[in-house]
Amino acid sequence: MLERHPSPGMGLLLPVVLCALAACCGATSPPLRFWPPIAHGCNDSGILELAGFALQDINRDRKDGYVLSLNRVSDVREHRQVNSLGSLFYFTLDVLETDCHVLSRKAWKDCGVRTLHKSVYGQCKALFYVNRPGRVLYVLAYNCTLRPVSRRSIHMMCPDCPSPFKLSNPKVLETAAESLAKYNKESASKQYSLFQVTQASGQWVFGFAFFVEYLIKESPCTKHQASSCALQPPDSVPVGLCKGTLTERQLQKFVSVTCDFFEPQAPAPGGENPAANQGPADLPTVEESQQKIIAPTNSPSKAVPKGSVQYLPDLDDEKPEDAQENSPVEAFPVQLELTTDPLGESLDVSFLFLDPEEKKVVVLPFPKKEQRSAECPGPAQQANPLVLPP
Ligand SMILES: *[C@@H]1O[C@H](CO)[C@@H](O)[C@H](O)[C@H]1NC(C)=O
Ligand SMILES: *[C@@H]1O[C@H](CO)[C@@H](O)[C@H](O)[C@H]1NC(C)=O
């Protein structure tokens, strides 16, 4: 079982790894040492670059919400794999929502960060696989937890700043409907209908002003049919994001609107309606061509856990429950446990490679924050404590 192949290649580590995992080899003769993960500084340029790629991959995997940008690296460990299989990085990233929708597929570096009073911030944990000779940079799993900036603190600093509104508020829907009607009226031919409201706030300035952001889909109706048209769209894929405002002043209404359209996308694997996208499916997207190393694009989607983004309410709204200040409740709980076995479990990553040999990496329980490098967390882009997870 421990026999080595005369010409060691990548595919050969499997029996060795399995053996190590099963602890079958006895304590006396481990064929390969178990290397503990290495802590890196959170301001190292190489680490920042990898963290940027990891976040890009997370954004690319998401179907809704806004693109997340990297505010700072909070923690990073590298677990070098045996037999030059590359490394698994355990990243904890402090992130901020930008003003780009994930469906725009824009790189987070090209997106604007929200103004402080509209900020949504939080933390992501990611298991990032890096194999430079194999040209692989791939997030195997992630989870994020986000919260809106503290309404109470914003209100103290800026009593006149807009405050968030419930997306179901009738005024929010009215603002979306009226601003979209204005957009359609000014549009040459194509008509659009509301897909989903994604953000809403309001402010008193000599009258009430409402600000909304919403996704739109193409309407099959022409301009002339307008409101009398009852045709159902053949698909309901969001095609753009609009920002609308409605100001009411002395019984007068002022409406403004701007819309940004998404680049046509190659159909997402597992998408309900792959025929919906007429985009040039085989051309690399801007994002991909900017990326130096990419995972094979046609990798079959494996039953490997990717992740999700969890939205929690304003922290202020939760304070009353745990009255004592130093309660151990985590403000931004992010769970990313692929295993609880301290020796780790092996994970098949063969699907990331073009050659058919089986490749497995060892995944460990997510490292504890307490053992992170003294150079962590790194410096923040937005250093305001209101948008930094504690
Ligand atoms: C990610 O978080 C969800 C809960 O939000 C949890 O059910 C899931 O197990 C987590 N994923 C991993 C790999 O831990
Ligand atoms: C982080 O790194 C940059 C560039 O290497 C350096 O200019 C900056 O001073 C560092 N910041 C901290 C807090 O170490």
Q: Which two tokens stand for residue 261?
A: 């359209």
Which ligand ends up closest to the CA of 333?
A: 1
CA of residue 368 to ligand 2 center, whole Å? 25
The one-letter code for the residue type at 323 is: A
- pLDDT of 10: 38
CA of residue 139 to ligand 1 center, whole Å? 15
Binding site membership of 312 for ligand 1 (Cβ less than 6 Å): no
CA of residue 338 to ligand 1 center, whole Å? 9
- pLDDT of 83: 81
Question: Global pTM?
Answer: 0.80
- pLDDT of 316: 86
Please spell the DSSP secondary structure of 147-201, one letter per residue.
Answer: EEPPHHHHHHH-TTS-EE--TT-HHHHHHHHHHHHHHHHHSSS-EEEEEEEEEEE
User: For atom 11 of ligand 2, which residue has the closest CA?
Assistant: 379
Annotate 239-276 with three-state secondary structure.
EEEEEEEEEEECCEEEEEEEEEECCCCCCCCCCCCHHH
User: For atom 14 of ligand 1, which residue has the closest CA?
Assistant: 336
364 close to 357: Cβ distance less than 8 angstroms:
no
- pLDDT of 268: 46
The pLDDT tens digits for 125-136 are 999 999 998 889
CA of residue 109 to ligand 2 center, whole Å? 19
User: For atom 12 of ligand 1, which residue has the closest CA?
Assistant: 336
User: For atom 7 of ligand 2, which residue has the closest CA?
Assistant: 43
Secondary structure (3-state) at 103: helix
Distance CA 128, CA 363 (A): 11
CA of residue 199 to ligand 1 center, whole Å? 25
User: In terms of Cα–Cα distance, which of 162, 74, 80 is closest to 118?
Assistant: 162
Binding site membership of 379 for ligand 2 (Cβ less than 6 Å): yes
The pLDDT tens digits for 250-286 are 889 999 999 999 987 655 443 333 332 223 333 333 3
User: For atom 2 of ligand 2, which residue has the closest CA?
Assistant: 43
242 close to 214: Cβ distance less than 8 angstroms:
yes
Annotate 8-26 with three-state secondary structure.
CCHHHHHHHHHHHHHCCCC
Strands 38-39 and 66-80: antiparallel
Binding site membership of 337 for ligand 1 (Cβ less than 6 Å): yes
**Residue scoring higher pLDDT (247 or 301):** 247
**Phi and psi of 156, rounded to 5°?**
-70, -40
Is residue 2 predicted with pLDDT exceeding 50?
no
Strand partners, 206: none
Binding site membership of 41 for ligand 2 (Cβ less than 6 Å): no
Binding site membership of 29 for ligand 1 (Cβ less than 6 Å): no
CA of residue 200 to ligand 1 center, whole Å? 28
- pLDDT of 185: 92
Distance CA 160, CA 213 (A): 20
Which ligand ends up closest to the CA of 49?
A: 2
Residue 336 CA, closest ligand 1 atom number: 14
Binding site membership of 304 for ligand 1 (Cβ less than 6 Å): no
Binding site membership of 340 for ligand 1 (Cβ less than 6 Å): no
The pLDDT tens digits for 45-91 are 999 999 999 999 999 999 999 999 999 999 999 999 988 899 999 99
Long-range Cβ pairs for the range 295-300 (8 Å, 24+)? 295/135, 295/136, 295/137, 295/138, 295/352, 296/352, 296/353, 296/354, 299/351, 299/352, 300/351
